[in-house]
C-alpha cells in the first residue's frame, strides 16, 4: 500500500523563516504584543550589564509567554526550544540564550510579569463587554516536599519519638559498658553503629527543637523549610504543601480579569482583596462578584459593599441571604453616589445606597449589648512552670499555656491550635495523640476520632468531665483570667440577599480556567519559591490562558489589531 511521501532531506530549499510559521499561529500574536510593549516602564533589568551585548528583553519575554501557553516551563526546556522550535526561533530571530540566561532574566524581572498580564487585558478591553466576576481559588503545589513542612503537632510527635529512641540507645550503651564482651556478640549492634545512630538522633532532635522554638517565638502555625511562604493545605487528593491563588473570571468572556497569590489555607475573607484590582481600575463603577460558600465571612462582605463591590456568596440550603452588622456612625451621606466614600458613609449611617436597592433589605439601627474587657492580667498561667501545668492536667483538666499557645490534656499529651472560631475562641486538638491514646474512652466518647476543645482567649483551664467522673472526682470551679462588663452600642443591621441567577453561573465560570491551566498547560505545580516569585509565575499561567481564550473569542485578525495598539 502506498504511503504519503515526505521531502528529500538532501534537497535545497529557498524560503523565508516566515513561511515556517502558520499564518494564524499564537506565536504571531505573542510577537505583536511584546513588540509593542514599552518595557522601560516595567524597569526591565538586562541579563548582561557589561562585556558582550545582552539579549533583547523582548525576545526573552516572548520565550516565556510562548512557553507558558505551550506547557514549556523550565529554563532548560525553554533553552532547548530556542534551538529546535521553529516558532520560537522565528520570534527571537534565531538567538539561542542558554538556560542560565533565561532563568536569570525571569529572576530579575519577575515583578513585571503581572503588569504585562494587566497590559494584555487593557488592550483587549476595548473589544469586549465585561460582566460580573466569579471569584474562586485553587491549590497549586509548591516547590516544597511534604517532609520539609512542619506543624506544631508534627514536631511534637517527632520530638517525642526521637526522645524515646535516644533514651533506648543510651540504655543499650550503658548495658554494653557493664558487659565486657558485648561488642563482639554476633548479630548484635556494635558500639560504633549505636553511637552513630545516637549522634544522628541527637542532631535531628536539636534541629526539630530549634524549629519548635522558632515557631513559638514567631507565632507561626506552620514552617516550610524549602519555600518559607508555602503552607500545608487540604485538597481533593489529601494534603500537599501548596499555594492558594485566587482568580476573578469574567462572566461574559470567561477571561481572567485579575488574580492574587495567597498562602491562606482557606478562602475566608479573600473576596474583597481579589476584586480590589478590578475596582481600582474604575473606582466610580459598582461591580459584582459571585463566590462559593468558602467565602462566607460577613466582615468581608461588609467591606466589599463599602468599596462598591456587590458580593453574591452562595448561601446554605434554606437561607436566602446573610444578616450583616456594621458600627453606626452618624453622617450626611449621598445615597445616589457610587464613590466608595459615599457608600461607606451611607451604610454606617443606616441608609441604603440606591446602587444596593436590589440586594440590601431591612436596614435598621439598633442598640445592642457588647462585652468589653476592663482589665486583663498578665498573659501567664496560674500554674507557673510547664511541669506544674502538666501535673494539674493529669488530675483531669485541660490546662492552657497562653505563652506557648498550647493545651496539656489529662493524658499528658500536648494539644495545638487547630483554628480560631468566629466567636474568637481558639480550638485545640492532636489527632495522632488521640488515635493512639490508651485512655481515650476515659476522656472522649464522641463519634469523631479525636478530641477537640475550645478556649476563650482569657480561659486557662477546663475540666474534663468524663475523666473526673471516671476518677470519682468533682470538677473544681474555674474562672476566666480577665474582668469585663457589658456596654451598649449602636449598630446598623441589614439583610444582604444575593442574586440566585448569578450564583448559579459560578461553577461554569471559575472551574474552566483552572482546568485549562492545570491540564492543558501542565501547570499543576510551581517551579519558583517565595510568594513574590510564585505570583509572577502564576501571571504567566493567566496570560497564557487569556491569549488562547481571547484568540478564540475575537479571532486572529482582531487580536493582531489589538496587540499592535501601544
DSSP 84-105: H-HHHHHHHTT----HHHHHHH
- Phi/psi at 14 (5° precision): -130, 95
pLDDT of residue 566: 67
Q: What is the DSSP string of 257-315?
A: EEEE----SS-TT-HHHHHHHHHHHSTTS-EEEEE-GGG--HHHHHHHHHHTEEEEEPP
pLDDT of residue 7: 86
Give the mean model confidence (pLDDT) for residues 317-339.
89
Give the mean model confidence (pLDDT) for residues 21-31.
95
The span from the CA of 461 to the CA of 407, in Å, is 9
User: Cβ(254)–Cβ(512) under 8 Å?
Assistant: yes
Query: What is the band of 368 on the pLDDT scale with cuts at 50, 70, 90?
Result: confident
Give the mean model confidence (pLDDT) for residues 251-269.
94
Question: Which helix (DSSP H) or strand (DSSP E) does residue 200 occupy?
Answer: helix 191-218
Q: Tell me which of 112-126, 436-450, 453-467 is least confident.
A: 436-450
Residue 460 CB contacts under 8 Å (≥ 6 apart), including other chains: 381, 382, 399, 400, 402, 478, 481
CA 135: distance to chain centroid?
14
The span from the CA of 353 to the CA of 336, in Å, is 6
- Above 90 in pLDDT, residue 205? yes
Burial code of 230-269, b = ≥16 C-beta within 10 A, e = fewer? Answer: bbbbeeeeeebbbbbbbbbbbbebbbbbbbbbbbebebee
User: Cβ(350)–Cβ(492) under 8 Å?
Assistant: yes
Rg, C-alpha atoms of the chain:
31
- C-alpha dist (Å) from residue 534 to 89, 135, 278, 379: 27, 19, 21, 38
Length of the chain: 566
- Above 70 in pLDDT, residue 542? yes
Q: 23: which strand partners?
A: none
Residue 459 CB contacts under 8 Å (≥ 6 apart), including other chains: 400, 478, 480, 481
Question: Strand 231-235 vs strand 149-151: parallel, antiparallel, or unpaired?
Answer: unpaired
pLDDT, tens digit, 9 for 90 and up, residues 120-132: 999 999 999 999 9
Residue 533 CB contacts under 8 Å (≥ 6 apart), including other chains: 107, 110
The span from the CA of 479 to the CA of 216, in Å, is 26
Give the mean model confidence (pLDDT) for residues 34-48.
83
pLDDT of residue 331: 86
The three cell numbers of residue 295 are: 467565602
User: Cβ(21)–Cβ(28) under 8 Å?
Assistant: yes
- Above 90 in pLDDT, residue 65? yes
> Edge-to-edge strands of the sheet including 133-137?
256-260, 246-250, 133-137, 287-291, 309-313
Question: Which helix (DSSP H) or strand (DSSP E) does residue 426 occupy?
Answer: strand 426-429
In terms of Cα–Cα distance, which of 419, 386, 379 is closest to 153?
419
User: Cβ(252)–Cβ(128) under 8 Å?
Assistant: yes
pLDDT of residue 138: 95
User: Cβ(400)–Cβ(464) under 8 Å?
Assistant: no
The three cell numbers of residue 518 are: 492545570
Give the mean model confidence (pLDDT) for residues 102-116.
93
- Above 60 in pLDDT, residue 466? yes
Q: Is residue 23 helix, strand or coil?
A: coil
Q: Tell me which of 177-186, 323-332, 489-498 is least confident.
A: 177-186
User: Cβ(239)–Cβ(151) under 8 Å?
Assistant: no
The span from the CA of 151 to the CA of 431, in Å, is 12
On average, the pLDDT of the chain sits at 88
- Above 60 in pLDDT, residue 185? no
Give the mean model confidence (pLDDT) for residues 281-310.
93
CA angle 207, 211, 214 (to 5 degrees): 135
Give the mean model confidence (pLDDT) for residues 387-392.
88
Residue 503 CB contacts under 8 Å (≥ 6 apart), including other chains: 290, 312, 314
- Helix and strand totals (H; E) in the chain: 19, 19
Query: What is the band of 432 on the pLDDT scale with cuts at 50, 70, 90?
Result: confident
Question: Strand 397-401 vs strand 309-313: parallel, antiparallel, or unpaired?
Answer: unpaired
Alpha helix stretches (DSSP H) within 500-555? 500-504, 506-515, 531-554
pLDDT of residue 186: 47
Q: Is residue 496 helix, strand or coil?
A: strand
Q: 136: which strand partners?
A: 247
Q: 419: which strand partners?
A: 427
pLDDT of residue 50: 57
Query: What is the band of 371 on the pLDDT scale with cuts at 50, 70, 90?
Result: confident
The span from the CA of 328 to the CA of 110, in Å, is 44
Q: Is residue 416 helix, strand or coil?
A: strand
CA angle 360, 365, 368 (to 5 degrees): 120
pLDDT of residue 484: 66
pLDDT of residue 486: 79
pLDDT, tens digit, 9 for 90 and up, residues 161-179: 999 989 888 888 888 877 7
Please give the DSSP secondary-structure letter assigned to residue 353.
Answer: -
The span from the CA of 410 to the CA of 300, in Å, is 39
**Residue with the three cell numbers 513588540:** 35
pLDDT of residue 113: 95
Amino acid at each position: 500500500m502506498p504511503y504519503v511521501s515526505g521531502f528529500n532531506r538532501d534537497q535545497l530549499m529557498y524560503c523565508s523563516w516566515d513561511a515556517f510559521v502558520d499564518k494564524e499561529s499564537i506565536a504571531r500574536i505573542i510577537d505583536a504584543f511584546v513588540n509593542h510593549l514599552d518595557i522601560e516602564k516595567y524597569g526591565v533589568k538586562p541579563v548582561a550589564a557589561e562585556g558582550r551585548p545582552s539579549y533583547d528583553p523582548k525576545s526573552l519575554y516572548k520565550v516565556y509567554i510562548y512557553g507558558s501557553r505551550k506547557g514549556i516551563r523550565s529554563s532548560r526546556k525553554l533553552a532547548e526550544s530556542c534551538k529546535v522550535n521553529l516558532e520560537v526561533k522565528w520570534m527571537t530571530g534565531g538567538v539561542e540564550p542558554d538556560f542560565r540566561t533565561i532563568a536569570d532574566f525571569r529572576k530579575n524581572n519577575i515583578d513585571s510579569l503581572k503588569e504585562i498580564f494587566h497590559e494584555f487585558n487593557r488592550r483587549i478591553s476595548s473589544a469586549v463587554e465585561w460582566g460580573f466576576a466569579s471569584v474562586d481559588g485553587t491549590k497549586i503545589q509548591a516547590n516544597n516536599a511534604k517532609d520539609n513542612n512542619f506543624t506544631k503537632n508534627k514536631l511534637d510527635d517527632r520530638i517525642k519519638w526521637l526522645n524515646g529512641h535516644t533514651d533506648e540507645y543510651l540504655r543499650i550503651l550503658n548495658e554494653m559498658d557493664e558487659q565486657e564482651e558485648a561488642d563482639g556478640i554476633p548479630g548484635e549492634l556494635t558500639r560504633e553503629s549505636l553511637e552513630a545512630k545516637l549522634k544522628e538522633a541527637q542532631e535531628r532532635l536539636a534541629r526539630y527543637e530549634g524549629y519548635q522554638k522558632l515557631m513559638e517565638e514567631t507565632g507561626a502555625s506552620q514552617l516550610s523549610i524549602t519555600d518559607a511562604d508555602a503552607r500545608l493545605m487540604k485538597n481533593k487528593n489529601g494534603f500537599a504543601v501548596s499555594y492558594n491563588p485566587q482568580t476573578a473570571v469574567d462572566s461574559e468572556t470567561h477571561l481572567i480579569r485579575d488574580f492574587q497569590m495567597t498562602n491562606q489555607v482557606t478562602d475566608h475573607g479573600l473576596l474583597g482583596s481579589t476584586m480590589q484590582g478590578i475596582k481600582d481600575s474604575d473606582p466610580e463603577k459598582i461591580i459584582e462578584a459571585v463566590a462559593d460558600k468558602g467565602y462566607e465571612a460577613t466582615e468581608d462582605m461588609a467591606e466589599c459593599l463599602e468599596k462598591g463591590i456587590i458580593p453574591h456568596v452562595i448561601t446554605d440550603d434554606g437561607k436566602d441571604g446573610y444578616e450583616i452588622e456594621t458600627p453606626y456612625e452618624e453622617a450626611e451621606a449621598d445615597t445616589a453616589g457610587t464613590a466608595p466614600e459615599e457608600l461607606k458613609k451611607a451604610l454606617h449611617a443606616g441608609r441604603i445606597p440606591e446602587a444596593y436597592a436590589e440586594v440590601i433589605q431591612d436596614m435598621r439601627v439598633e442598640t445592642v449589648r457588647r462585652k468589653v474587657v476592663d482589665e486583663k492580667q498578665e498573659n501567664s498561667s496560674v500554674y507557673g512552670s510547664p511541669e506544674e501545668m502538666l501535673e494539674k492536667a493529669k488530675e483531669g483538666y485541660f490546662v492552657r499555656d497562653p505563652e506557648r499557645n498550647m493545651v496539656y490534656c489529662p493524658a499528658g499529651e500536648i494539644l495545638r491550635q487547630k483554628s480560631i472560631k468566629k466567636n474568637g475562641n481558639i480550638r485545640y486538638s492532636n489527632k495522632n495523640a488521640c488515635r493512639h491514646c490508651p485512655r481515650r474512652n476515659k476522656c472522649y466518647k464522641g463519634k469523631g476520632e479525636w478530641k477537640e476543645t475550645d478556649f476563650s482567649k482569657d480561659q486557662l483551664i477546663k475540666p474534663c468531665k468524663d475523666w473526673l467522673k471516671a476518677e470519682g472526682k468533682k470538677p473544681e470551679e474555674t474562672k476566666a483570667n480577665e474582668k469585663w462588663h457589658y456596654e451598649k452600642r449602636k449598630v446598623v443591621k441589614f439583610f444582604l440577599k444575593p442574586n440566585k441567577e448569578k450564583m448559579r453561573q459560578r461553577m461554569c465560570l471559575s472551574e474552566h480556567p483552572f482546568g485549562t491551566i492545570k491540564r492543558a498547560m501542565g501547570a499543576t505545580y510551581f517551579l519558583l519559591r517565595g510568594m513574590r516569585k510564585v505570583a509572577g509565575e502564576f501571571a504567566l499561567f493567566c496570560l497564557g490562558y487569556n491569549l488562547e481564550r481571547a484568540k478564540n473569542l475575537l479571532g486572529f485578525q482582531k487580536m493582531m489589531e489589538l496587540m499592535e495598539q501601544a
